[in-house]
A = this chain, B = another copy of it.
Amino acid sequence: MSATLRLHSYWRSSCSWRVRIALHHKGLPFEYVAVHLVKDGGEQHRPEYREKNALGMVPTLEVTESGTTRFLGQSLAILEWLEERYPQPALLPKDAYLRAAARQMAEAVNSSIQPLQNLSVLQYVKGTLHGDDKAWCQHWIGRGMAALEQMAHKHAGRYLVGDEVTLADACLVPQMYGARRFGVDPSQYPTLLRVEQACAALPAFQRAHADAQPDAQPTSR
């Protein structure tokens, strides 16, 4: 029984990027549907998109199967669904404690770093609070990545958890891009940098990269 997959994505969204890595890693064909997060105040806020994703966030994975279409949101929930539905090649280790370690590192990015560098949050920090959004980002990204480096020390082999790619790597790579974008020097995190380089050699990560997407733009920031 095969499902048709469409990914609602924005090229530079780190959460979309994670899911692109998983799809390419598992060799799953999918249609790319660009959602422009900035143009006209953000296409993610349009009612027709909110029908698919109540929070108005990317990504959304649209799955059509046996005539029924479903919309899955939240990148880590999508990664877990993909792992259950298409278990090979895996994105989680076999050992239960290593699975917990991979999920812990993924969540460190997903819940302790990325939400604070999210576009809507930066708009509030700058627009409503008249705060320094760059200093804000550097504070939270710096805190989170220092902790991630410490976790990586314990668990990393070639990748973040041992020698196989996991969903922790799918979260790390877009986060490293985000760190540079917001002026955080990644050389402070040698283990993370080494893992990022190992991932960059893999075709799945190359195909999932922001700059390789159909809606990629010349970077201005």
Instruction: For A104, list chain B residues within 8 Å (CB).
Output: 72-74, 77
Instruction: For A139, list chain B residues within 8 Å (CB).
Output: 124
Closest to A113 in B: B115
Q: How far is the CA of A110 from the CA of B114 in the complex (A)?
A: 12
- Does any Cβ of B come within 8 Å of A80's Cβ? yes
Q: Which of B57, B72, B144 contacts A112 (CB 8 A)?
A: B57
Q: Which of B73, B97, B116, B129 contacts A115 (CB 8 A)?
A: B116
Majority SS at the chain A contact face: helix
**Considering only CB atoms and an 8 Å cut-off, how many residues of chain A contact the other chain?**
46
Q: Are A96 and B84 in contact (CB under 8 A)?
A: yes
Q: Which of B80, B116, B131 contacts A129 (CB 8 A)?
A: B131
Instruction: For A103, list chain B residues within 8 Å (CB).
Output: 74, 76-77, 80-81
- Does any Cβ of B come within 8 Å of A78's Cβ? yes
Q: Are B99 and A81 in contact (CB under 8 A)?
A: yes
Binding site for B on A (CB under 8 A): 54-57, 70, 72-74, 76-78, 80-81, 84-85, 96-97, 99-100, 103-104, 106-108, 110-112, 114-116, 121, 124-125, 128-129, 131, 136, 139-140, 143-144, 146-148, 150-151
Besides A80-B103, A112-B115, 12 other CB < 8 A contacts? A54-B151, A55-B108, A55-B112, A55-B143, A70-B97, A72-B104, A74-B111, A78-B100, A80-B100, A107-B110, A115-B116, A125-B129
